[in-house]
Structure 1
Amino acid sequence: MPATTADEDDPKAASRTDARRQADPPRLTARRGRTAKIVRLAATGVILLVAFVAAVFVWNFYVVAPWTRDGRVRVQVANIAPQVSGQIVDLRVQDNQFVHKGDLLYVIDPVDFEVAVTSADAEVKNREADLQVKNAQSARRQALTTVSTSVEEKQQFAGTAKIAEASLESAQAQLRQAKVNLERTQVKSTVNGRVTNLLMRVGDYARTGTSNISVVDTDSFWIDGYFEETKMANVHVGDAADIKLMGYAPHLTGTVESITLGISTANAAASTQGLPDVNPVYTWVRLAQRVPVRVRIDHKPDDVPLVAGMTATVVVGTGRAPLPTWFMDLRDRVAGPTASPAGGQAEADRR
């Protein structure tokens, strides 16, 4: 026969065991309920903490961090105008052609200017001959005594010689000017760059001082980043900058060269009486003004072309703003002060 336990032999013990078994499920249920509640509260707290930290970092990144997608590639353009007027007889460049400083762009009809040089040269020779005659006459008068000529006559001949000398100098200056004008019929590039938007052609009339050809100065490219004023506290002259052009994966590197000290404001315009014209409408939503920051390009990958007007994303420094002071204090209270690398190394050395 199978062995029997003490509880089976004792009816009272068996009844107590049954009572405990009947009382245990409510206790277990209550304990499990409290545990689940604590877990839910802890999970909610963790989620709220993560959301709060994420909100702080997102706010810092989008509102305070020194970066902008509103950047533009800028360049200097040399608007070349002739210094003499005339008909264009020879065009030496094509649209989008690269030229070096001093390369010939086009030629103005030189015939009139060659005639002017010949005429000025002849005038110089005429004045030289006249000066020789006047000097000889003055020298003869100066050699005579007052018996043969008067002092007044000597002075007149000496003055005539001086006038002839001045006339020669004037003729020589006109000759130099005529030669310069002849040289100016060959219009040359003033910069290294690329001819752009070429519309002129042979037969057009070039007018003095009127630009008719433009050359993009390829040595003058820079980036203008338009940063919101809320981010300017973390932008400084000399800071490194990372630049990415829209449509190109490689990055450019640069340096903050200068920061604009003024932007236009509508309230600064003067009225008809010379008084400030202040807009009486004040909107509740105030958009941050954008301040132009000039970035010098230090390095550009060879496979990335620069075109004035292209859109760029500009990140100054690390692109991260320092965390708010109150957030740093809260972090230190929760996690304890964060030791610097130098401090940690010193502590390790002491140990």
Structure 2
Amino acid sequence: MTLMTRETLVRGLKIVLTLALAVIAALILWHLYNYYTYAPQTRDGKLRADAVPLAADVSGRVDSVVVRDGQIVKKGQLLFTIDKVRLRNALAQAEAAIATAQATLRSAEREANRYAALEGVVSAQDRDTRRAAAEEARARLSQAIADRGLARINLERAEVRSPVNGIVTNFQLRPGIYANAGQPVMALIDSDSFYVAGYFEETKLAHIHDGVHATIRLMGEEQVLEGHVVGVSAAISDSERSTAAGTLLADVKPTFSWVRLAQRVPVRIAIDRVPRGVTLVAGRTATVTLDGADDHLHPKNVL
């Protein structure tokens, strides 16, 4: 009798222990589900920065290159130069054109003044003709001065300088290459434009507001970055909707999946602090956790 009671007790304890472990496991799974579904955190983040494509304002052969790939440059720093021989010649021609226009204007003004003094002797038509010639010469002088200004600008723009503080990347420019005006020949990563794009599920947007503090962990880095939310994307693409050809009406595909995945919405995170020794490389993977995310692991928030 005692043996049966002991076996019954042991069996009952095992059942109770099993049920207790099942309840604890269920609670842990529920907390984890709540955390990853509603807590403002994401492992789907990317470090981003603005890339600045640089092109010469004037066409010509690249005369000198004074930077290298991966070099950190300051705003206004010289990057490369275009051959200035033709540009200096164009400026000299513009100066000569001004001198010619000035001489022509002086001659035309003398003629106009002379004919104006001969009123009653020469016809009004002759006086108007000389006056028009003087005005035309004055316009040509203005045009020549404008051409000289353009020639000076082109000569100055032969020296291509950095428009931002940045980092030279994927650099292959070499002296002797012909650069066309407006065609990018190199790129800079704006070092002042780094930010984190966090792709949060739409179920978490209720907890995301401008100014919320963010903790950022880059993959492979032990130290954390700090930042804050500066904005949430206003729109994302709807892959199930298009415009029907010829009707301009919405063409919504009649599809439905039993498992409805939450849409991911881009959230921009400004970086406030970068620990010493951490290298910012655009494209690195980041985990973003906003203040308040850990509260969703507390039982009172889920029961």
- 1:83 counterpart = 2:57: yes
TM-score with structure 1 setting the length:
0.79
Partner of residue 127, structure 1: 101
SS at match of 2:288: strand
Shift of 1:159: 1.6
SS at match of 1:57: helix
In structure 2, C-alpha distance between the alignment counterparts of 1:149 and 1:207, rounded to whole Å: 56
In structure 2, C-alpha distance between the alignment counterparts of 1:73 and 1:222, rounded to whole Å: 6
Shift of 1:43: 4.5
TM-score with structure 2 setting the length:
0.91
In structure 2, C-alpha distance between the alignment counterparts of 1:110 and 1:264, rounded to whole Å: 49
In structure 1, C-alpha distance between the alignment counterparts of 2:60 and 2:302, rounded to whole Å: 77
Give the counterpart of 1:314 among 288, 293, 301: 288
Partner of residue 6, structure 1: none
Letter in 2 for 1:108: I
Partner of residue 114, structure 2: 140
Tell me, yes or no, if the aligned pair for 1:82 and 1:208 is still in contact at 8 Å: yes
Report Cα offsets for 1:102-138 as digits up to 9, x if no partner: 1111111111111111111100011111111111221
In structure 2, C-alpha distance between the alignment counterparts of 1:283 and 1:49, rounded to whole Å: 31
Report Cα offsets for 1:25-74 as digits up to 9, x if no partner: x5x77887887687667645644543343233112222211111111000
CA 1:267 to 1:29, structure 2 compared with 1: closer, same or farther past 3 Å?
Answer: closer
Indicate the RMSD between aligned Cα atoms, in angstroms.
2.4
- 1:176 counterpart = 2:136: no
Tell me, yes or no, if the aligned pair for 1:60 and 1:321 is still in contact at 8 Å: no
- Taking the TM superposition and a 5 Å limit, the aligned residue runs for 1:20-169 are 43=17, 46-146=20-120, 148-169=121-142
Partner of residue 196, structure 1: 169
Tell me, yes or no, if the aligned pair for 1:66 and 1:321 is still in contact at 8 Å: no
CA 1:126 to 1:281, structure 2 compared with 1: closer, same or farther past 3 Å?
Answer: same
Tell me, yes or no, if the aligned pair for 1:75 and 1:217 is still in contact at 8 Å: yes
In structure 2, C-alpha distance between the alignment counterparts of 1:330 and 1:94, rounded to whole Å: 56
Partner of residue 12, structure 1: none
Letter in 1 for 2:49: V
Letter in 1 for 2:207: N
Tell me, yes or no, if the aligned pair for 1:234 and 1:321 is still in contact at 8 Å: no
CA 1:91 to 1:180, structure 2 compared with 1: closer, same or farther past 3 Å?
Answer: same
Report Cα offsets for 1:262-314 as digits up to 9, x if no partner: 11122232233334333233222222221111100000012101000001110
- 1:216 counterpart = 2:189: yes
Give the counterpart of 1:300 among 252, 274, 295: 274
In structure 2, C-alpha distance between the alignment counterparts of 1:250 and 1:264, rounded to whole Å: 34
Higher strand content, 1 or 2: 2
Higher helix content, 1 or 2: 1
Give the counterpart of 1:281 among 229, 246, 255: 255
Letter in 2 for 1:227: F
Letter in 2 for 1:268: R
CA 1:106 to 1:251, structure 2 compared with 1: closer, same or farther past 3 Å?
Answer: same
Shift of 1:156: 2.0
CA 1:330 to 1:209, structure 2 compared with 1: closer, same or farther past 3 Å?
Answer: closer
In structure 1, C-alpha distance between the alignment counterparts of 2:296 and 2:302, rounded to whole Å: 15
Partner of residue 257, structure 1: 230
Count of matched residue pairs: 302
Report Cα offsets for 1:233-259 as digits up to 9, x if no partner: 221221110001111101000001111
- Taking the TM superposition and a 5 Å limit, the aligned residue runs for 1:9-28 are none
In structure 2, C-alpha distance between the alignment counterparts of 1:30 and 1:304, rounded to whole Å: 67
SS at match of 1:266: coil
Structure 2: any 5+ residue segments left out of the alignment?
none
- 1:205 counterpart = 2:178: yes
Fraction of identical pairs, as percent: 37
In structure 2, C-alpha distance between the alignment counterparts of 1:241 and 1:276, rounded to whole Å: 39
Greater gyration radius: 1
In structure 1, C-alpha distance between the alignment counterparts of 2:112 and 2:302, rounded to whole Å: 103
